[in-house]
Structure 1
């Protein structure tokens, strides 16, 4: 004799299929709710890397040197190596934070004035950028401090070269 009736669980009175189906549905709901499918809140915006201001300064300083050279070509031999240093810094920072090195973008009008005024303006910009790099170096994790310290030292050297 073959029994073809539904098999009932002992105390609850539910079939194995019903219990198994409910268990699978519960696990699936838990998994989906954990992956954010049912979340109404948007993901928080990605925080910029703490080295982004250092990158922005490097790009701005290189552009300042380029504008100065365009306005006063006689300063090119003195200023071009300094601009190249800043472009190298920007490329290295970009690599470290996983970004494409930014371009200088549209350049503003070149500075006008005597070469001495241009040099003084660039020296002031280097000194300000060096101070911000030192402050960032003090707060940076060890694996980034060497690069930031090197950039700060380079900026200090640039300021001295512009005396």
Structure 2
């Protein structure tokens, strides 16, 4: 037994005013959540450990190719594949397909001297990543940096 209450002589009822206000509030909320934005979401920044992972995959492949003629180097390929697998797990990504498969073709840069230089460069990358990494990642990166330094010394 309530009737429409007139708020003014202009013909606006309280229900109409409140409904319009609610509708405007909804539009403002939708506008703030990006519904009407034309710009796409920015791509997430790559994980800081991605370069360390990329180098592990590349080193594993180079060692595997060189192990065809120098079988003693196969252990280094195995170590780098293990590093790559652990890094991929920490980052939350998958390894590139074929990263664990050996290749019989030796690349032009696959020499012991080239591998030593690659190990030294990759070791520097791992040390820099270790310094910048949060504590829960630093131990892993530190052990990878140490392994890379050890590999470089073994290749002397």
TM bucket normalised to smaller? 0.7 to 0.9
**Matches of 1:38 and 1:54, distance apart in 2:** 39
TM-score (norm 2): 0.84
Equivalent of 1:153 in 135, 146, 152: 146
Unaligned runs of 5+ in 2: none
Q: Which residue of 1 aligns with 2:86?
A: 92
Contact map agreement 2:49 2:87 (CA 8 A) in 1: yes
Equivalent of 1:140 in 121, 128, 133: 133
Where in structure 1 do 4 or more consecutive aligned residues deviate above 4 Å?
A: 10-13, 105-109
Matches for 1:1-163 after TM superposition, within 5 Å: 6-9=4-7, 14-70=12-68, 72=69, 75-76=70-71, 78-103=72-97, 104=99, 109-111=105-107, 118-163=111-156
- Quote the RMSD (CA, aligned, Å): 2.8
Give the C-alpha shift of residue 81 in structure 1.
Answer: 1.3
Give the C-alpha shift of residue 11 in structure 1.
Answer: 9.3
**Matches of 1:141 and 1:150, distance apart in 2:** 15
Give the C-alpha shift of residue 137 in structure 1.
Answer: 1.4
**Matches of 1:81 and 1:55, distance apart in 2:** 18
Give the C-alpha shift of residue 66 in structure 1.
Answer: 1.2
Give the C-alpha shift of residue 64 in structure 1.
Answer: 0.2
Contact map agreement 2:64 2:102 (CA 8 A) in 1: no
Unaligned runs of 5+ in 1: none
| Cα-to-partner distance string for 1:106-149 (whole Å, 9 max, x where unaligned) | 96941469xxx932222221111111211221222222211111
